[in-house]
A = this chain, B = another copy of it.
Amino acid sequence: MTDDPRLSLRLHFESGLTFGRGKADLLQGIAEEGSISAAGRRMGMSYRRAWSLVEEMNGHFAAPLVDSSRGGAKGGGAALTDLGRSVLADYRALEELLRDQGAGQLQRLRAAQRYVQG
């Protein structure tokens, strides 16, 4: 979970998938909470929305990123697949790359902007 609310990159792929902070944080939440609904709650997101995003992601990859099961003592749960962890890690790496190596440019871009009533 990136704490800096200023920097946020969204990647557009030719498959039609757009992947940004929202989906990345959701994946990370699922990994940490073991549940789609818990991850959604943590982000102030409805379960409907969280599940939709998971479905979208799973559909855009050759294999699911999230593996889920229902029923049981705890009602069910979800976890990241190897591919899911890989995708999340790659996105985080790109984020970090941008934050670190691109600090100069980002700093200049931010400084040039107006920040009214914010």
CA distance A14 to B113 in the complex (A): 9
Chain A binding surface SS class: mixed
Q: Which of A1-51 contact B (CB under 8 A)?
A: 5-17, 19-21
Q: Say yes or no: B113 contacts A15, CB within 8 Å.
A: yes
A83 CB to closest chain B CB, in angstroms?
6
Whether A10 contacts B10 in the complex (CB less than 8 A), given A106-B94, A108-B90, comes out as yes
Give the total of A residues in contact with B, Cβ under 8 Å: 42
| Closest 3 pairs between A and B when the two form their complex, measured CB to CB | A90-B105, A8-B12, A10-B10
B residues less than 8 Å from A106 (CB atoms): 11, 90, 94
CA distance A109 to B113 in the complex (A): 32
